[in-house]
Structure formats: structure tokens, C-alpha cells
């Protein structure tokens, strides 16, 4: 079955949002020794999609992921999960905000030990509550207004100011125009979108910097010795402390507790039985 031109045009606008954001993320990644994963070939996966799995093994396809220590051949530690979305009418924007939340939040929870950033670039007609829903959850949001999107597309000879009454034949003409654009013209489209909303892109980058470019303030490291006790009541636990006597010889370390404090007030706590895993975890932050 042929794809409806209206649906395809919506996809094209979504692609344009990605074109606008990609150079910003690429520049940020290069400046901070990060790897930018985006749609395309990568030896660490079978298909071109940027696919990650949550702790229940549910699949989430994203637009961009920034990784520390990642490469074309190695999956790194995720530091940012970023989605894009377009809405022509505000009546469905809250549902779309929930979709973004549903795609990103489970991954943030899974990787909570490294506190990854959640971000979204959204274009078109979004209600204030839908945007507030994302920002209140800690998302960094870059919003490009509907009028700004219309203006940017006109710079490459396209008209996307459509309505529900616009005939499919007119929509198809715009789809065909996009398909005929050269790579340089598509790059210009992304550039025009950035020009339309410079403060939004600046705000988004600043949110990335606050979340990711954090300096380590101190590391608290505790070596846990001995076997822990389980008690049925507070009274039993209190009595265990009162009657505790340290062993004559220092027992083997059973667990390493790591607490990292950063200058942006982030706190990352982790616990390891294997000291090599504890070392790998801490060294993943060494460059920062």
C-alpha cells in the first residue's frame, strides 16, 4: 500500500528537525570526546536504527545517543538520549510528549548510575502543558515554532503550511520536491531551522553542558569487609551493633561502594562485588 503523502510530509519535517540538531550534537561530541550515534550503519548492531533496550528488555528506537567511550565498533556509556517530534496541531501534542517520555525515561532509569541526559527537539504546534510535561521531568527541550518551520522550508522552495483540507496531490508535490533536494540543499534546510530559533538551540546546548560537562569534586570509596547480617526487628539490629566485635584479622573485601560527587550537584552511587568492574566504572569518568 502506498504511503499517504500527508504522513510522508510529516516524516520529512521530522527528518528536517534531525538535520537541524545533528551538527549541534556533532560539534558538542567532538568538543567533549563523545561519540554521536545516529541512524546509519554501525558494526555493533544489525540494522541502521539507534536501538537501545531497557531493563525489561523492551526495545526503544531513538534519534540520537551521545556516548562516552563509544565508537563505530564499541558501545559506550550513554550520557544523553535524544528524540525529535513534529506536531501540526496542538490537540495531539500531549500524547506525543508522552511517547517521547515513554521512549527515553526507561533508558534513563536503566542507566541511572551515570545520570544520562534526556532531550527532545520538537517542532510545530505544541501546547504549553505538553512542553511543561517534558521540562518538569528534567528533559532539555528545543522547540521550533510552526511559523519558523514554514519559513525555513520556503527557503528551499517547499510549502508545508498545509491544512486538513489540503489535497493529496498538493501534498505529494511537496514530497517530490524534498526527494529532489541535493545533500547540500538539505543541509541548508537544517541551517535555516537553526537560524529561525537560535535561542532555542543555544538553550538546548547549555542544558547538555550542565548535564554532561561536569567536573568531579570528590570520590568516596568504601571497602566493605565481612558478611552482612539480616535482622527481623530494629531491636535486633541495634543489639547487633552494641555487641559487635571486630574480627582479629581483616576479612576479605566483599563489596566496593563508590560515591562520586560533581560540581553541578550530581551524585552517582554504585556498588560492586568485582574490583575490576569498580575500576572500569570510575575510569569511564576519568576524562571528565
Residue-range definition of the domain harbouring residue 224: 216-283
> Which of 181, 212, 243 is a domain's end point?
212
| 75 is a domain residue | yes
Q: What is the pLDDT of residues 37-72, one digit of tens each?
A: 999 999 999 999 999 999 999 999 999 999 998 999
Count of domains observed in the chain: 2
Q: Do 166 and 221 have their domain in common?
A: no
pTM exceeds 0.85 for this model: no
Band of residue 288 on the pLDDT scale cut at 50, 70, 90:
very low
Question: How many CB atoms neighbour CB 218 within 10 A?
Answer: 9
Contacts of 116 (CB under 8 A, 6+ apart): 78, 79, 80, 81, 107, 108
72 within a domain of the structure (yes/no): yes
Distance CA 189, CA 192 (A): 5
pLDDT in tens, 140-158: 999 999 999 999 999 999 9
**148 and 226 both lie in a single domain:** no
How far is it, in rounded angstroms, from Cα 76 to Cα 67? 5
- Average pLDDT across the chain, whole number: 90
Summarize pLDDT for 239-259 with one digit per residue, the tens.
888 888 777 777 788 888 888
Residue 272 falls within a domain, yes or no?
yes
Residues 149 and 279 reside in one and the same domain: no
Q: Please indicate, yes or no, whether residues 230 and 187 belong to a single structural domain of this protein.
A: no
Q: Looking at 155, 187, 212, which one is the last position of a domain?
A: 212
C-alpha cell at 108: 534513563
- Indicate if 161 and 232 belong to the same structural domain: no
Per-residue model confidence (pLDDT) at position 184: 96
| Dist CA 91 CA 124 (whole Å) | 12
Place of cell 560539534: 27
The pLDDT tens digits for 87-96 are: 988 888 899 9
Query: Does residue 223 share a domain with residue 208?
Result: no
CB-based contacts of 236: which residues, under 8 Å, 6+ apart? none
Neighbouring CB atoms inside 10 A of 50's CB total 19
Amino acid at each position: 500500500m502506498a504511503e499517504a503523502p500527508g504522513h510522508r510530509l510529516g516524516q520529512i519535517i521530522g527528518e528536517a528537525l534531525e538535520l537541524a540538531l545533528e551538527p549541534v550534537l556533532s560539534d558538542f561530541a567532538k568538543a567533549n570526546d563523545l561519540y554521536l550515534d545516529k541512524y546509519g550503519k554501525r558494526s555493533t548492531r544489525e540494522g541502521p536504527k539507534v536501538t537501545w533496550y531497557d531493563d525489561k528488555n523492551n526495545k526503544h528506537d531513538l534519534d540520537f545517543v551521545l556516548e562516552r567511550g563509544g565508537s563505530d565498533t564499541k558501545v559506550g556509556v550513554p550520557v544523553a538520549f535524544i528524540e525529535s517530534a513534529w506536531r501540526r496541531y496542538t490537540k495531539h501534542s500531549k500524547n506525543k510528549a508522552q511517547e517521547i517520555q515513554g521512549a527515553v525515561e526507561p533508558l534513563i532509569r536503566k542507566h541511572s548510575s551515570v545520570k544520562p541526559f534526556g532531550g527532545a527537539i520538537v517542532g510545530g504546534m505544541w501546547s504549553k502543558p505538553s512542553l511543561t510535561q517534558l521540562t518538569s521531568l528534567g528533559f532539555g527541550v528545543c522547540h521550533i515554532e510552526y511559523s519558523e518551520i514554514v519559513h525555513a522550508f520556503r527557503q528551499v522552495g517547499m510549502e508545508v503550511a498545509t491544512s486538513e483540507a489540503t489535497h493529496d496531490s498538493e501534498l505529494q508535490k511537496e514530497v517530490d520536491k524534498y526527494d529532489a533536494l541535493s545533500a547540500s540543499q538539505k543541509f541548508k534546510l537544517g541551517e535555516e531551522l537553526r537560524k529561525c530559533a537560535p535561542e532555542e538551540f543555544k538553550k538546548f546546548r547549555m542544558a547538555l553542558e550542565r548535564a554532561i560537562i561536569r567536573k568531579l569534586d570528590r570520590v568516596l570509596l568504601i571497602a566493605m569487609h565481612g558478611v552482612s547480617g539480616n535482622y527481623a526487628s530494629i531491636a535486633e539490629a541495634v543489639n547487633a551493633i552494641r555487641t559487635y566485635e571486630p574480627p582479629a584479622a581483616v576479612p576479605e573485601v566483599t563489596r566496593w561502594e563508590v560515591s562520586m560527587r560533581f560540581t553541578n550537584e550530581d551524585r552517582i552511587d554504585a556498588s560492586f562485588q568485582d574490583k575490576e568492574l569498580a575500576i572500569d566504572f570510575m575510569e569511564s569518568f576519568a576524562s571528565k
